[in-house]
Amino acid sequence: MADPTRRSENVPPDALPVSLSAPPKDAGVRLRNTALFVALVGLAAYTAADTQVSLSALVQGFPYMGRLFVAFFSPDFADIARYVPALAETIQMAVAGTLIGSLLALGYAFLAARNFVTHRGALWVTRGFMNLVRTIPDLLFAALFVAVFGIGALSGILALIFFSFGIVAKLTSETIEAADMGPAEALYAAGATPAVAAVYAVLPQILPQYLSYVLYVFEINVRVSTVLGLVGAGGIGVPLKAALNLLQYDRASAILLLVFLAVLLIEWTSQYLRRRLTEGESPAAPSQLGGVFRRFRGPIAFLGVAAALVWSFWGIDLNTKGFSVGAQMAGRILAGIFRPEWSYAPELLVALWESVEIAYLGTLLAAVLALPFGFWAARNVTPAPFAAGTKVFLSAVRTFPELMLAIVFMVGVGPGAYAGILAVGVHSIGMLAKLYGEAVEAMDMGPVEALRAAGADGLGVFRWAIFPQVLPELLSYAIYRFEINMRAATVVGVVGAGGIGAPLLFALQSHAWERAGIILLGIVVLVSLTDALSGAVRRRLV
């Protein structure tokens, strides 16, 4: 990836970058791309009609959503101190889930890496389990654990452990497969075991990236843990749900503002640390302090992780009495899940297809609308103050989870898939625009400077120097976002925004485990197919 600060020097006025003068595409490639574009537009038109997408309905709903936004933007801070403990519990849940899940994932990633496990059967099992965990959305994990262990923070922590494990294990296993195996082979030649080679030859190589993944997942978990309370899994989502149920939007607004400030602070800190880690620098600034840190980094890291774990469980009611009841309940759930209600299959397929429609249209909406925000957020093509303001705005958009946005849009357009599409789309704008901006900041500025020196206007520079460079990455990010949105589309139904979420929640709440089993099976198959398809397309793009 190119340095975003790179500039071309001594470029002749008539110079044109060679990369911009590529031969015309083959007619067959153009025909294929045109056919693909027509197919995507046709699918969008069909799904929009099937989900009753209507611009007039959205416009007519603006006054109702406007009243809701007025209430949201009139926060009641009178009792804000009451919610600080719930916010602290939310962060504790995120810390505990991230640390435990990531530590488990570190060892497991070696078992899922092709350059450490050569037996195809063992690799199929380890990678299969890892992918299975990744297919189940975080909120569904929380709903399952609430059904097993009851309401409380324990269910939320367990959900975040599994959620973190799936992401970190996949990313770390891919990093291990890309590591230089020369040092490991030297240790093998000296008689070392695979475990010794992993610890002394590969782990030092991947550790900065692994820590970057952990910080990234922690950012996600702080946001995720704010909505787990909607299904009873602890955290600040519990008082937020109570305020929304009582239509106390001014109080809900104060809670969301508190969450936004906490998320913004954590995100900025995490991004700073990740940037220092990936650049190979120690986060400690003073050289003397940095020397002490490097000398004792092992014990310091161990003590830091231990202290964070102790703090994350400090004062949290884990409801350990629920373990005995939970074990019995887990047995019933597993028995029901492995005896799925096959007669429900026709209705399941309809609900799953609606989830696909929500994810597809939501991603398409976000991919288009995030484009200007992505360029406005890039410091190398936009004035720094404007870029900084855009990033703050996008952080605010990302603070509102899909479920919160679904509640807002349901006020305007009513319950159903249309509200789910708008919720998934608006939330994805904040996420995609952030990634788009980072891609633009990392592009090679040489062609840009060359065209500017040749007298090209802003539109010409964008058309010939900027957009062709970043387009493959933008498409890759949009397709990857579709994977994520497929998971989100399976849970927005929890609040009535269409998809498979509502039937699953009803099955869990009514203890209809056979029906819950076939619904979970359908979600796993759908998400797995989506991941495989999008992964293949992204590999072709990049």
- Cβ proximity of 187 and 203 under 8 Å: no
Residues 144 and 224 in one domain: yes
Q: What is the DSSP letter of 63?
A: H
Q: Classify each residue of 470-503 as buried b or exposed e, where b means 16 or more C-beta atoms within 10 Å of its C-beta.
A: beebbbbbbbbbbbbbbbbbbbbbbbbbbbbbbb
Residue with tokens 């303001």: 389
Residues 361 and 274 in one domain: no
> Domain of 99: which CATH number?
1.10.3720.10
For the chain, count helices (H), then strands (E). Answer: 23, 0
- Cβ proximity of 64 and 416 under 8 Å: no
Residues 306 and 341 in one domain: no
49 occurs within a structural domain = no
**Overall domain count for the chain:** 2
Spatial separation of the C-alpha atoms in residues 274 and 470, rounded to whole Å:
22
190 occurs within a structural domain = yes
Nearest 10 degrees: Cα torsion 515, 518, 524, 525: -150
Which residues span the domain enclosing 232?
77-279+297-311
Cα-Cα-Cα-Cα dihedral sign, residues 483, 484, 490, 495: negative
Which pLDDT score, from 0 to 100, does residue 370 have?
92
Spatial separation of the C-alpha atoms in residues 541 and 531, rounded to whole Å:
15
CB under 8 Å to 161, separation ≥6 — which residues? 96, 97, 100, 101, 104
Residues 217 and 252 in one domain: yes
CB under 8 Å to 473, separation ≥6 — which residues? 439, 542
Which pLDDT score, from 0 to 100, does residue 26 have?
63
Residues 252 and 346 in one domain: no
351 occurs within a structural domain = yes
Spatial separation of the C-alpha atoms in residues 14 and 16, rounded to whole Å:
7
Query: Which one, of 206, 203, 240, lies nearest residue 225 by Cα?
Result: 240
Residues 251 and 111 in one domain: yes
Report in angstroms the alpha-carbon separations of 263 from 129, 139, 396, 523: 31, 19, 9, 29
111 occurs within a structural domain = yes
Which pLDDT score, from 0 to 100, does residue 425 have?
93
Q: What is the DSSP letter of 23?
A: P
323 occurs within a structural domain = no
Which pLDDT score, from 0 to 100, does residue 280 have?
52
Residues 396 and 523 in one domain: yes
1 occurs within a structural domain = no
Residues 368 and 303 in one domain: no
Residues 273 and 340 in one domain: no
Per-residue pLDDT of the chain (542 residues; tens, 9 = 90+): 444 444 333 333 344 444 444 444 566 667 877 887 888 889 889 999 988 888 888 888 888 887 777 776 777 777 777 788 888 888 888 888 999 999 999 989 988 888 888 788 888 888 888 888 888 888 888 888 887 777 778 888 889 999 999 889 988 888 888 888 888 888 888 888 888 888 888 888 888 888 888 888 888 888 788 778 777 777 787 788 777 777 777 787 788 788 778 877 877 777 777 666 555 554 544 455 555 555 555 566 667 677 777 777 776 666 655 566 666 667 777 777 778 888 888 999 999 999 999 999 999 999 999 999 988 988 888 888 888 888 888 887 887 778 878 888 888 888 889 999 999 999 999 889 988 988 888 888 888 888 888 877 778 778 788 888 888 888 888 888 888 898 888 888 888 888 888 888 788 778 788 888 888 888 888 888 887 787 777 666 55
- Cβ proximity of 535 and 516 under 8 Å: no
